[in-house]
Structure 1
């Protein structure tokens, strides 16, 4: 098949390369020069504009978006819309909010352009091992795109599938990422306990490597933990501040709206917010309250020279 891909960051470029290796013709575009050059080095056929990209594709066209969630997706679709024709399809492989995907699918249906939301997971291993694809949209258009999904997935018959109508793909990926938050937090807390048990002088990289084989807690995230500890055992130079890209928040909000208890994911999200407060007012107030009711000592905050 022939596919246009807009957004050639690391993941987008790797996906384009995997598709190219699978025999598909890929035309890519990215406004950022650095990412454009990286994709060029991978042998991706490049266009100088979105209009040129669309012009290189035979109808019915398929254009895959790997751009940041939010306004960037809407702006890209607005640029594409006058260039496309009935029967063409836009695939959003980023981490868009599922409600936005539902809205976009309805809007594009008026122009008889299909919209497919494809939650994509695989990270740095995707190029070699394949991607996990959670796909929402019409059955017929997803079946037409089967060769693309089968090439991107770990195998043609596993690791991908249509999970429901428009929005279902990004909803499923949102919950996937919420689960990931909880798993990451559990590993972080467990290894912190190991690190604080100083009397045993545990080698955390060794422990992680032991757990990777045969243990019930082995996982791809544990592989990453072992790699990180092997490269930097004390995690020197890494600030204890953890960002989030939105999916964890959306998952917590969805849990509240549905009335479903999700305490682990919620607490993992709150832990990330807490990590960004270098001078926690709540902790200062707790210390002050302990002094007020029990006369407990208060540590003085160190001032910078």
Structure 2
């Protein structure tokens, strides 16, 4: 049986990956901010048609950038969702914003599951977080993206998106470490394959895409000692300033809150 999934947005290429896996993808492009639809998806206009095309429980994938558009889209589709439906949020939003959205959906027994694609090409994993029942409904979608053994049940709602930000900070560390390793290799006065040795020692990761600064703020709030992460993130920022490059900055909708205040 072909899995049918509703899709809003295509910020991280989740739709394209699901299409390659053979998913029957129904996409909305007439929502707030007109998020683009994945090429190859079936375009559906209007809430009634969109939800009637999906079998219950409906799986709605959000592939949006963090920020207010996530709330605007949820506000639009919320009246059409029914108890037992699941929203699969791939936005990589600030985890506090994700917890707030999770709580709102939970009031009507709608599952809000946060997911994050992390790791290097060829060994990527999908983290899935939320209520156990919602995670079970999300697993068939996650397993379309990576083999089942690489799907990780991350824990409580918010933990997948929290880990996504940590992954950005790790990318900063890896970038700085690769720079130091390159200097050490180039300092050796012998013929060598610098690029090949570098890849063997530390495979290149995708660069940080704007979430790493959130980690510094969380470290202070959560009283976690992260000198290595902090130094790498600040060195990245210093390099951007020196090169007159505008740093990529993703939006947090709300400030830090203690989870007990939200839940």
Q: TM class by shorter-chain length?
A: 0.7 to 0.9
Report the TM-score when normalising by structure 2: 0.78
* Structure 1: stretches of 5+ with no match in the other structure: 225-241, 281-305
Which range moves more in the overlay, 66-75 or 114-123? 114-123
Distance in 1 separating the partners of 2:237 and 2:53: 45
**Mapped contact 1:136–1:169 kept (Cα < 8 A):** yes
- Which among 222, 229, 239 is matched to residue 258 of structure 1? 222
Number of corresponding residues: 240
Q: Which has the larger radius of gyration?
A: 1
**Mapped contact 2:86–2:112 kept (Cα < 8 A):** yes
**Mapped contact 1:26–1:45 kept (Cα < 8 A):** yes
* Within-5 A mapping of 1:51-200: 52-121=49-118, 125=121, 129=122, 131-153=124-146, 155-156=147-148, 158-192=149-183, 194=185, 197=187, 200=189
Name the structure 1 match of 2:199. Answer: 212
* Structure 2: stretches of 5+ with no match in the other structure: 245-263
* Within-5 A mapping of 1:273-292: 273-278=237-242
Alignment CA distance shift 1:253-1:51 (3 Å): farther
Q: How much is the aligned-residue C-alpha RMSD, in angstroms?
A: 3.0
Shift of 1:258: 2.6
Name the structure 2 match of 1:12. Answer: 14
Question: What secondary structure sits across from 2:92 in the alignment?
Answer: coil
Question: What secondary structure sits across from 1:90 in the alignment?
Answer: strand
Question: What secondary structure sits across from 1:118 in the alignment?
Answer: strand
Deviations 1:185-221 (Å, cap 9, x if unpaired)?
Answer: 21123325555x4x94977xx31213434xxx23253
Question: What secondary structure sits across from 1:4 in the alignment?
Answer: strand
Distance in 1 separating the partners of 2:98 and 2:34: 28
Alignment CA distance shift 1:136-1:10 (3 Å): closer
Distance in 1 separating the partners of 2:125 and 2:243: 39
Report the TM-score when normalising by structure 1: 0.69
Shift of 1:167: 0.9
Alignment CA distance shift 1:102-1:57 (3 Å): same
Instruction: Tell me which protein shows more helix as a share of its residues.
Output: 1
**Mapped contact 1:94–1:120 kept (Cα < 8 A):** no
Shift of 1:68: 0.6
Q: Which has the higher contact order (CA 8 A, sep 6+)?
A: 2
**Mapped contact 1:8–1:29 kept (Cα < 8 A):** no
Distance in 2 separating the partners of 1:279 and 1:15: 34
